Structure 1
Amino acid sequence: MADIREPVLLTAALTDLHPTQISVGMREVENKRENWREKEDDKKSLYLGSHLIPVVLGDQSQPFVVDHHHLCRALLEEGVTKVALSVMADLSSLEKDHFWFVMDSQRWMHPFDEKGIRRSYQDIPDSLTEMKDDPYRSLAGSLRRAGGYAKDVTPFSEFLWADYLRRQFNGADIAHNFNDFLEKALILAHDKKASYLPGWCAPQVKHV
């Protein structure tokens, strides 16, 4: 009989969670904060129970978040103290360098800074509050919600779109004219140059 592993479920304080990426889109975080505030109080616990945070256990069984960084940061900002975790792997027996090698190999980390430049794992912050703002990650999230591309299971797919947009706009400061850049991004999203990206939607051909 096959050995079926049951998922390991834990709870942890948000302040004890360690990120596996350097940046987030703070507009995305704010959007999730607003969504949280709009929920009725009796629905919030149900929401938390149905949104498990996937983690990998590192040294001394410390939890390292591998997804939902924006949600974790938003909940922390909103005063939520604990969340439920789903343990994807226990790497607590590994030395630090070996731990990060495995994390990188499994695509459980994204060591790129707010300018899209790859950094050492040593540059990944220790806490959720230390992650830096990447406006292009926010633009990529807004672009998906506006129909620019489809949701995809590819790890860090929004960061791939953020990198594409950053290159198309030559790293321009988009924070102060965000909506204008979003309109331009909607056009760029359907360009054939973006066809390598996860969730790309080919432009519809109008038949006469």
Structure 2
Amino acid sequence: MHTRHQHLVKVDLRRLRPTQITVGFSEVQEKRSLWTGLGKTERRRFLASHWFPAVKGPSENFYIVDHHHLGLALLEEDVVESFVVLLKDLSMLAKDEFWTLMDHHQWVHPYDAKGKRQTVADLPKALTGMVDDPYRSLAGDVRRAGGFPKDATPFAEFLWADFFRRRVKPAQLQRDPGATLKIALKLCHSAEAAHLPGWSGKALPLMA
């Protein structure tokens, strides 16, 4: 592996380990569209400035703790190399101690597509093993529509996804995504959502 400076390491995206089970496929598609719209020079600059924060774990594996959607999008666009910025080197720890620390730092989110917590053994071994959570896709759509801002809280949009999961029926989400988005935009400004990161309580005009 090539190192540009002390904490930046060039890696094979196919070997990165995710710290979550699901992503929102609509957000992956959005990032694929962004990538395809870039020229050759722009793509090189993009990769040089978009690093994957990662923790080095047992067996020298890099576990990324953010930008899972981007990583999967790049792989689907046949990009196999990028950079990780090393947050912590925990490679000397046994697996159980490693995951205890990962959980303590909120660097792992082992919840499945139904919002149920699983064991870390259920985490995919590669980014391409992640599955779609339609409610994570809905949360991403709500954020992009102005429902709430991007927040530094770990896995913030998964908290929003779980909020919508409890209030929007799967059949409704599947049947009419557009109408569901309008409902979700109302919900995200309600008092019920006051505990969530980025909540403003101020409703914005609904999309036409």
Residues 115 and 47 of structure 1: is their aligned pair in 2 closer, same or farther, counting only changes over 3 Å? Answer: same
For 1:123-151, what per-residue CA distance to the aligned partner results, in whole angstroms no more than 9, with x for missing partners? 11101111111010011011011111122
Size of the alignment, in residue pairs?
Answer: 200
Could you say what secondary structure the match of 1:89 adopts? Answer: strand
| Amino acid of the structure 1 residue aligned with 2:42 | K
Q: Which moved more, 1:174-183 or 1:63-72?
A: 174-183
Whole-Å separation in 2 of the counterparts to 1:33 and 1:10: 23
Could you say what secondary structure the match of 2:176 adopts? Answer: helix
Whole-Å separation in 2 of the counterparts to 1:107 and 1:77: 27
| Amino acid of the structure 1 residue aligned with 2:167 | Q
Whole-Å separation in 1 of the counterparts to 2:74 and 2:133: 19
Partner of 1:3: none
Partner of 1:39: 38
Tell whether the 8 Å contact from 1:7 to 1:86 is kept in structure 2 after alignment: no
Task: Give yes or no for the alignment of 1:144 onto 2:143.
Answer: yes
**TM-score, length-scaled by structure 2:** 0.92
Partner of 2:100: 101
Residues 176 and 27 of structure 1: is their aligned pair in 2 closer, same or farther, counting only changes over 3 Å? Answer: farther
Q: CA deviation at 1:170?
A: 4.2
Partner of 1:20: 19
Q: Considering only aligned residues, what root-mean-square deviation do their CA atoms show, in Å? A: 1.5
Whole-Å separation in 1 of the counterparts to 2:56 and 2:202: 43
Whole-Å separation in 2 of the counterparts to 1:175 and 1:129: 23
Could you say what secondary structure the match of 2:153 adopts? Answer: coil
Tell whether the 8 Å contact from 2:172 to 2:180 is kept in structure 1 after alignment: no
Partner of 2:180: 181
Whole-Å separation in 1 of the counterparts to 2:39 and 2:120: 39
Partner of 2:123: 124
Partner of 1:91: 90
Task: Give yes or no for the alignment of 1:156 onto 2:155.
Answer: yes
For 1:78-104, what per-residue CA distance to the aligned partner results, in whole angstroms no more than 9, with x for missing partners? 000101110000010111111111101
| Amino acid of the structure 2 residue aligned with 1:52 | W
Could you say what secondary structure the match of 2:72 adopts? Answer: helix
| Amino acid of the structure 2 residue aligned with 1:109 | V
Identity of aligned residues (%): 46
Which 4+ stretches in 1 moved above 4 angstroms? 170-173
Whole-Å separation in 1 of the counterparts to 2:116 and 2:172: 16
Whole-Å separation in 2 of the counterparts to 1:120 and 1:7: 33
| Amino acid of the structure 1 residue aligned with 2:35 | W
Tell whether the 8 Å contact from 2:72 to 2:128 is kept in structure 1 after alignment: yes
Q: Which moved more, 1:154-163 or 1:171-180?
A: 171-180
Whole-Å separation in 2 of the counterparts to 1:175 and 1:80: 31
Partner of 2:58: 59
Whole-Å separation in 2 of the counterparts to 1:134 and 1:181: 15
